[in-house]
Structure 1
C-alpha cells in the first residue's frame, strides 16, 4: 500500500476510489449554516458554533477540576519598571499555579488578551471557560512595590479573596518568586474552600467525583472520629465515580492514617496497611502528584521507616516547591531526628506560605517542640499553647501543650491542658503517644516522659 521513495518520502500505491455523499438538508435551528461549514460546501460537515461557545453552568464536558485564568496586572502610575514587574509577577503566578495537579490554568497567550483595567467577568467566563480569575494591580513607590490581588468567581463576579503584598525592588527575581509562592499557597486554601461551598446544598449521592473529594477534604480536616468516617466514605464515593482519581486515593490514605494516628479504630495495624496501599494506588495513577507522594511518605513515617519517608517527602516538595504540607512534614521528620533548627526552618516556611492552613495547629506545636529540644521552655509553651488553641487541635497537641507549660513553670495552664487530655485519653496513652512521636533524641524523650508523669498523663 505504501512505498518508501529514497530522499523523497512515501508513495501511496493503491488506486483511490471516490465516494459521493449527498448533503443533508441544513438544520433550520442553526443560523448561517453556510458560514459554519468546514471544508468544501458539498461536504456534509456542519458545526453548530453556538454549542461550541456554550460555557454556561450546563456545559457538557466532564469537570474534573476547576479552571483559573491569571489576567495581566493593572499598572498604577507611570514608573517604567511597572511594565516589566507586572508581567513578571503574572508569568510567575501562571508558572506556579500550573504545578498544582488539581487545577487547570489558562495559558497566558489567551488570558493576556484582556485589559486588566477594563474587563467583564462574563466575557472571561465565556471566552476562556474559566471558573475563577486571579488579577490585581501594581504600584511602585520609590524602592517599594505594592501588589493588590483579587480572586473572583466568574459564575457571579463575587470576590472570594483579596490581599495586599509589599516588597522592595532590590531583587526583582526574588520579589516575584516570593509573591507567587505565597499567593499560590493561599489559593490552595481559598479555592478548595470555595469548591466545597459550591456543592454545599447538594445531596451526597448527587456529587460527582470532584465534588465528593472536596467535601471529603472538608470533613477530613476536622480531626474527629465521626467526620473522619464521613470523609472516608466520600473519598470512596469519588473513587467509585472515577477510578483514575489519584487525589481521592491520597485523601483515603489520609483518613486511614488519621484512624491509626488518633486511635479511632481498634485495629491500628490494618489502618496503617490501608493508608500505605491507598497511597501506592494513587501513585500508580499519577506519580507526579505532590499530595500522593506526600501520602506515601507519611505512611512510611507511620511504619517507622524514616529514611524512606524522607525520600518521599522530599520528592513531594520537589514536585511542588511551595507545598506547605510537604515542608511541614519534612520539618516534623527533622524534629524526630533531633535537628531542631532544620525543623524550625521548614515549619516557619510552611506557616509563611499557608498561614490559614487546616494543619496550622500541628505546625505551631511542632515549632514549639523544636524549642523544647533546645531547652527554651518559655518560647516552647507559647507556640504549643497557640497550636492547642487552634481549631481542630487533637489530644496529642493538648498533651504536648500541657508538657510545655509545665516545663515553662506555668502550672495553671499545664493543669488545664492536662485535664482535657485525661478526660478522653485511652489506656496506655503515654506509650501510644511516643509510638506516634518516636524521638531519636533520648534526652528529649526523657524530659517529656517526666513532664507527662508529673501531670498524670
Structure 2
C-alpha cells in the first residue's frame, strides 16, 4: 500500500518518497519519521513514540528530534510556520494533518523483491568461511575453524535459525555472491569475515549483512598476538553472540514497525514486542504484551511469545505497574510454565521461570532455573545477571560478583545494564562499602531505561555514603518516575536476607520520605 498526499507518494515497503513521480532525497531517519507519523495520523505522536520508532529507544536530544522534524517538513514542502503537513502540539508531540489517501503498490509500480521487506518466520543466518589473507598453512585453517565454532555457539539460540556448516561452507570463494547465498540457503542474514596476519598479530574482521537490503548492519575488527589465538577465538564467539542478540532483533523490529501491524507473522510480532519490552514503562509494557498476544494468536505453540508474556507480567509485578501485583506474579509463573511446556530447552523460557520465583521470594528455586538457562546458553548475559541478582538476595557476595562480571563481559551494552550496576551497588551495601556502593548506584541510575527502584538504590547508597545532595537528587528522580513509590515497593522487589543492610536502607528511605 502506498500513501498519497498532495503531490507526494510515500511507499513504506520500498522505503521511498516521491513528488510528481520524481524521487525525493531524504535520510533514512526522516523517512522512518514520516512513515510513523502517517501510520499514526489519527492521533498525536509523542516524542517518546518517535524516539522508539526512529532511534530504537536510544537516548537522543530534543535538538535531534527537532532537526529530523525540520528535515521531514522540508522533504514534503512544509515548514514550521505553515505546518500544513506536520503540526507541532507544543510540549506534547506531533501530528500528520495533511489529507492522506492510499493506493495498492501495483498502481505505482511493483516493489523490487529485494527492498519489499516482509520478514516471515524465525530469522535465519548463514555463517560463511572467513577469507584468509597472508596466513601460513597452519593458520589458514582458522578461516573454517572459527566460523564452525560460531555456528556451534549460535545453534544454542532458539530465536535464530543457523544454516548448517555443510551448506554454508559451500560458499568459500573470496567474494561470495549474496544473491546466490540468499537464494540457495534461504538466509535472511549472512556473516562473513576476513582473517589476516601481519606484524606477529592476527586480525579478524566481521561483517553482518541483511541479504534483502544488502545493508551492513554491524561490523567489527578484533586483533590478537599470534600467541593468543585461542583467546581470540573465544573472544570472537562471545563478542559475536552479544552483537547478534542486539542487532538482529532490533533490525527485525524496525522492519516490522515500518510495515505496520497488519499481516505480521508470529516472529515479527515477537521482535516488535521485544522492542517495547525493554523500555520499562507501563505503556510500553502494555504494548509489548499486545505484540506477544498477537504472536500467540498467529501461532499458539510459539514458546518464546509465551515467555514474553511472562516477562511483561513480571514487570507489572516487579515495578508495581498495575493494580494487582499478586495477580501479575501468578500470570508470570503461568506464562513461563506454558513456554516451558512448549520448549523446555529455550534459555529464555527458563530465564522467565526463574525470575517468576523472585516475585514469591524463593531465590533458591530461582537459582536452579537460571542456572539451567545459562547451561543451555553459556553466552546468555541476562541469565548471568539474573543469577547474580538471586545470589545478592541470598547474600552470597562471591557468586554475585562473578555473575555480574560474566554478564558485563558478555554484553557490555545490555538493556538491563542498569540492573547489573544496581545489583553490584546492593551487594556492596551489604558489605558496608558505602562509597563504592554509591559510585555504582550512580552509574546504575544514569544508565538508559533505569526505573524508579534504581533511583531508590542510588538514594540509599548515597545517603549511607554521606552524599546528601546526591541522595536528594535521586529522591526527586524516584518520585518523578513513580510519585507513589514506597519503601514497601522497594523491599518487595529486593527481599534481601541481610538484616543489617535492610535496616539501614529502610532508615535512609524513611529519612527521605518513603
TM-score, with structure 2 as normaliser:
0.74
Q: Distance in 2 between matches of 1:58 and 1:157?
A: 9
Please say if 1:192 is aligned against 2:249. yes
Please list the CA deviations of residues 144-175 of structure 1 after superposition, one character each: whole Å capped at 9, or x if unmatched. Answer: 43221111111121110111223344454443
Q: Which moved more, 1:384-393 or 1:92-101?
A: 384-393
Contact 2:310 2:333 in 1 (8 A): yes
> Which of 442, 450, 459 lines up with 1:402 in the alignment?
459
User: What's the counterpart of residue 221 of structure 1?
Assistant: 278
3-state SS of paired residue (2:351): helix
User: What's the counterpart of residue 258 of structure 1?
Assistant: 315
Please say if 1:387 is aligned against 2:453. no
Please list the CA deviations of residues 415-436 of structure 1 after superposition, one character each: whole Å capped at 9, or x if unmatched. Answer: 1111111345465710221111
> Which of 245, 248, 271 lines up with 2:302 in the alignment?
245
Contact 1:116 1:135 in 2 (8 A): no
What pairs up with 1:28-177 in 2 under 5 angstroms? 63-115=120-172, 117-141=174-198, 144-170=201-227, 172-177=229-234
How far apart are residue 342 of structure 1 and its match?
1.5
What pairs up with 1:4-15 in 2 under 5 angstroms? none
User: What's the counterpart of residue 46 of structure 1?
Assistant: none
Q: Distance in 1 between matches of 2:238 and 2:187?
A: 22
Q: Distance in 1 between matches of 2:135 and 2:225?
A: 18
How far apart are residue 299 of structure 1 and its match?
0.5
Please say if 1:439 is aligned against 2:496. yes
Q: Which moved more, 1:134-143 or 1:124-133?
A: 134-143
- Mark the structure with the bigger radius of gyration: 1
Please list the CA deviations of residues 347-381 of structure 1 after superposition, one character each: whole Å capped at 9, or x if unmatched. Answer: 12111111221111111211222222223222222
Please say if 1:179 is aligned against 2:267. no
Q: Distance in 1 between matches of 2:395 and 2:120?
A: 45
Please list the CA deviations of residues 1-50 of structure 1 after superposition, one character each: whole Å capped at 9, or x if unmatched. Answer: xxxxxxxxxxxxxxxxxxxxxxxxxxxxxxxxxxxxxxxxxxxxxxxxxx
Q: Distance in 2 between matches of 1:78 and 1:265?
A: 59
Contact 1:236 1:248 in 2 (8 A): yes
Q: Distance in 2 between matches of 1:156 and 1:236?
A: 29
Distance 1:58 1:395, change over 3 A: closer
Q: Distance in 1 between matches of 2:364 and 2:422?
A: 23
Q: Distance in 1 between matches of 2:343 and 2:378?
A: 18
Distance 1:199 1:423, change over 3 A: closer
3-state SS of paired residue (2:395): coil
Contact 1:212 1:234 in 2 (8 A): yes
User: What's the counterpart of residue 12 of structure 2?
Assistant: none
User: What's the counterpart of residue 333 of structure 1?
Assistant: 390
User: What's the counterpart of residue 32 of structure 1?
Assistant: none
User: What's the counterpart of residue 333 of structure 2?
Assistant: 276
TM-score, with structure 1 as normaliser:
0.83
Q: Distance in 2 between matches of 1:62 and 1:132?
A: 11
Please list the CA deviations of residues 173-232 of structure 1 after superposition, one character each: whole Å capped at 9, or x if unmatched. Answer: 443223202211221111100111112222223221111111111111110011111111
Q: Distance in 1 between matches of 2:142 and 2:475?
A: 52
Q: Distance in 1 between matches of 2:480 and 2:167?
A: 58
Q: Distance in 1 between matches of 2:389 and 2:173?
A: 42
Q: Distance in 2 between matches of 1:202 and 1:248?
A: 20
What RMSD over aligned residues (CA atoms) do the two structures have, in Å?
Answer: 2.2
How far apart are residue 345 of structure 1 and its match?
1.3
Distance 1:323 1:428, change over 3 A: closer
Runs of 4+ in 1 over 6 A off after TM superposition: none
Contact 1:73 1:116 in 2 (8 A): no
